[in-house]
Structure 1
């Protein structure tokens, strides 16, 4: 109770006074208290409290000034020395930390922790992994261990995804409800997808939507989730995707369906594109918002099917001023393909034009001969084959646009 009161007092002090007055008239808190107040605000940001984000930006600037002005002997206290590393690894000013670490001898902490932190400040991934790998000192704060796990997971993802994912799992277990957990859930989606672990993707998505749906970083979460679904392809069903989407609030669900639909079109998965665009269209209509994009994707997904005529009509009636430039290119390509399909002469199933030649001097007559063709011997119509190729070419037309 007393610890929480002190932190609230710190925040009220930061926000209630101009920075210059606060610096002159208020006692300077120790660095570990300053960093703790920063972390408390970050966790509130992750939980979706709207007032926390602007307050955090002000607090970060104030803390940077306080740390720069701190006496060198302050850093000999282990709690303060560890705090400055936590500050750095959680969005603190790298130049401020670099100046302190390079001008002050920190006898109370491991040199490898200092070297790894400097590597992080310098954007040196090899230095980060090299110095932060292996067993960490047993006496360091759990929050620093979680912070190190997060930054090293990002570096390990491309070379050792299973280990990277285990580090994110460690964060979820040891730092629940924090910004660290929120980040671990977001970053774990693509790692799990690249490993083909559908159940892990679903678990991470459910946890995020149930715990951090109001986070200001949720936009990045949905981008990661869409990419994860695209990587999993047929391993995850449309019903499973819809189950995940049902946990999101309506305003987030609609763009999620649309992103999946567009991504499916780009990779040529028309059944998935059709399913998602139908969901998006129904949802847009139910909340009385613009459904132009949903209709576009639905129309495109139906080109080349028995609904081609209706699809082309739908596409031709779309208001182009409501579409993004990249979607206009999709519209143009789909309309052209639909037009070519409709221009082809229809063929009566089971009947083949034949030319019969009668005796000399007699006329030749075109007749239709009914042919019983076993289904197993039916060949692909050249036009259908051409249509499929055109659909595959959409990606090239878009220049492999981002989903």
Structure 2
């Protein structure tokens, strides 16, 4: 199949490049089938097909624009038009062509619905496409219809959307449609709180489409699932899926999981992911990744080991981190240093207790690294994403026997709240 796709595509491009008139004589449905073959190769990891896809889309677009209405009397060409529309085609071209045709029945409904979808009118598209049964249309257009309808419903109607994604996969196995359906199913099972189904879908995607150019979206959803289903998915189950990846991919996933778990305050998961990332990094490069050290240090902080954590944080070289993680490191250092500086034997005044003891330090350190005015000021309670402060009043318990536990809980909670706030601020700056 790989050779066939390449041969068809190159033959198609050769004809188009050598003679524009000759390209104009190619049957529309044959051109679109060649495009689908190339897109399926993309889904399976042939990134070299990306520029080929762009060239083919441009040529097919021109071909549809100049096609006569009589060409669409051939049912195969009409089907090709609808498939092209749902395969990343030009909405302007689709609108021009549809305006020339006198479609009837379900074809007319599908044409209007697809055009609405392509132009971003999701609610309208959903209403128009509602009566169309993807399974009744067969594999050529049915798979695309199921994918489009499921994408429109999304997490607003996750149960129905997931059923449509299953139909898309059933109608078009091994294609870009199946890749997209699998990838878009993960947020749906997250919304439905189905960890077992999440694991099945994640493993299927990892085995079939991990080399897809769209796999980064899968990685985001996979990591989010590991955090969301923290209590339902075991470390062994995570390792089973991640082991299907190559070492570089494994390290990347574990680092992302470590960072996300750290921000969410999931100490055990962060420690697990950090240690796995470090082990894999040492196998590949002979040394640990500084990001793993950073996340592990932050997630393991308690009232008893603040000095040790700060010492470990000081060993992390900021120059080896991304700008975002560099700010996170500086914020974590500032928080730990501020905690060590807190008085432990003096009851703070009401005014002092109400002051954000750490937020100014965090913001100033983060802004110093980022050079962003957005982070340079101390957020107030009226702003969208305030940085919550350590409560000195809560940290100093009136019951000496509970002092250690109280301080530890307050410290861990506050540190993670700070990091979460800083993370949100960094996200806003990067947008």
TM range (shorter): 0.7 to 0.9
Q: Does 1:315 align with 2:313?
A: yes
Alignment partners' CA distance in 2, 1:141 and 1:135: 12
Q: Give distance in 2, aligned partners of 1:295 and 1:84.
A: 53
Counterpart-to-counterpart distance in 2, 1:121 and 1:195: 27
Once residues 38 and 413 of structure 2 are traced to their aligned partners in structure 1, the CA distance between those partners, rounded to angstroms, is: 53
Alpha-carbon separation, structure 1, partners of 2:134 and 2:157: 23
Q: Which residue of 2 aligns with 1:386?
A: 410
Unaligned runs of 5+ in 1: 348-376
* Equivalent residue for 2:302, pick from 299, 304, 311: 304
Post-superposition offset of 1:346: 10
Equivalent position of 1:29 in the other structure: 26
Contact (CA 8 Å) 1:304, 1:338: kept in 2 or not?
A: no
Partner of 2:45: 48
Tell me the equivalent position of 2:264: 267
Structure 1 residues 307 and 276: CA distance shift in structure 2, 3 A: farther
- Farther-moved stretch of structure 1 (141-150 vs 324-333): 324-333
Superposition CA RMSD, Å: 2.7
Equivalent residue for 2:103? Answer: 106
Change (3 A) 1:311 1:14: same
**TM-score normalised per structure 2:** 0.79
The reply on whether 1:58 has 2:55 as its aligned counterpart is yes
Is the 1:76–1:107 Cα contact (8 Å) retained in structure 2?
Answer: no
Structure 1 position 233, deviation (Å): 3.1
| 1:399 is the counterpart of 2:424 | yes
Give deviations 1:283-325, integer Å, cap 9, x for gaps.
Answer: 1111106611111111112221655443221210111112223
CA shift, 1:210, in A, is 0.8
Any idea what the Cα deviations from partners look like across 1:40-91, whole Å, max 9, x if unmatched? Answer: 1111111112332222121111111111111111112222112111111111
Equivalence for 1:353: none
Contact 1:119 1:125 in 2 (8 A): yes
Q: Which residue of 1 aligns with 2:227?
A: 230
- Residue of structure 1 equivalent to 2:70: 73
* Per-residue deviation, 1:133: 1.3
Contact 1:76 1:106 in 2 (8 A): no
Measure, in 2, the Cα distance between the counterparts of 1:192 and 1:325. 33
In 2, Cα distance between equivalents of 1:130 and 1:108 = 16
Deviations 1:175-226 (A, max 9, x none): 1100000111111111111111111111111111111122121122111211
Q: Which residue of 2 aligns with 1:182?
A: 179
Structure 2: distance between partners of 1:9 and 1:182: 23
1:338 and 2:362 matched = no
Inter-partner Cα distance in structure 1 for 2:182 and 2:15: 36
| Aligned-partner Cα distance in 2 for 1:153–1:380 | 53
2:278 to 269, 276, 281: 281
Contact 2:29-2:77 at 8 Å conserved across structures: yes
Aligned to 2:388: none
* Structure 2 CA distance for partners of 1:279 and 1:402, relative to 1, 3 Å: farther
Tell me which structure has the larger Cα radius of gyration.
1
The 8 Å contact of residues 337 and 390 in structure 1, kept in 2 or not, is answered as no
Deviation of 1:272 after TM superposition, in Å, equals: 1.4
Ranges in structure 2 where 5+ consecutive residues have no aligned partner: 346-399
1-side partners of 2:94 and 2:134: how far apart? 21
Alignment partners' CA distance in 1, 2:305 and 2:276: 18
Report deviation, 1:228: 2.4
Are positions 1:167 and 2:190 aligned together?
A: no
- Confirm or deny: 8 A CA contact 1:304 1:341 kept in the other structure: no
Q: Give the distance between the partners of 1:117 and 1:287, measured in 2 at CA.
A: 47
Q: In structure 2, what is the Cα distance between the partners aligned to 1:10 and 1:336?
A: 60
- Matched residue, 1:203: 200
Aligned to 1:243: 240
User: How many residues end up aligned between the 2 structures?
Assistant: 370
Give 1:327's aligned residue. Answer: 325
Please state which structure has a larger fraction of its residues in helix: 2
Q: Do the aligned residues in 2 keep the contact of 1:150 with 1:180 (CA within 8 Å)?
A: yes
- CA 1:163–1:263 in 2, change beyond 3 Å: closer, same or farther? same
The structure-2 alpha-carbon separation of the partners of 1:398 and 1:135, relative to structure 1 and needing over 3 Å to count, comes to: closer
